[in-house]
């Protein structure tokens, strides 16, 4: 999971994942939507692929990329206790604000 965080630390890779979350796409479509060159997008896709965050399939001359949700599920599971902590704090804040409003 540490390597997943390292890969996700790059904003360009997160942007690529955001685009791939919408649908499977070839490299050319990603290049058209990003402010990056084709070689740069390809390098980021290679890093994402090696980390298991994207999968690729070949269709004739095109390589189609899609998100692999499994590594992201691991991150989600790790974050779950923190989310519960935040929600508990927000609930306490909401109760306190309601008390103040009622005074």
Structural domains in the chain?
4-102 (1.10.10.10)
pLDDT at position 43: 97
| pTM of the predicted model as reported, rounded to 2 decimal places | 0.77
pLDDT tens digits, 46-58: 999 999 999 999 9
State the average pLDDT over residues 76-94: 88
d(CA 42, CA 7): 14
d(CA 25, CA 54): 11
d(CA 93, CA 89): 6
Radius of gyration of the chain (CA): 19
- How far CA 33 is from CA of 16, 29, 46, 47, 87, in Å, comes to 9, 6, 18, 19, 35
């Amino acid at each position: 999971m540490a390597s997943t965080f390292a890969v996700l630390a790059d904003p360009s890779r997160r942007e690529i994942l955001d685009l791939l979350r919408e649908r499977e796409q070839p490299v050319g479509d990603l290049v058209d939507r990003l402010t990056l060159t084709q070689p740069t997008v390809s390098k980021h896709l290679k890093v994402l692929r090696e980390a298991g965050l994207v999968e690729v399939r070949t269709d004739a001359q095109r390589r189609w990329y899609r998100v692999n949700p499994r590594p992201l599920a691991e991150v989600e599971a790790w974050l779950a206790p923190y989310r519960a902590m935040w929600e508990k704090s927000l609930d306490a804040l909401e109760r306190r604000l309601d008390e103040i409003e009622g005074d």
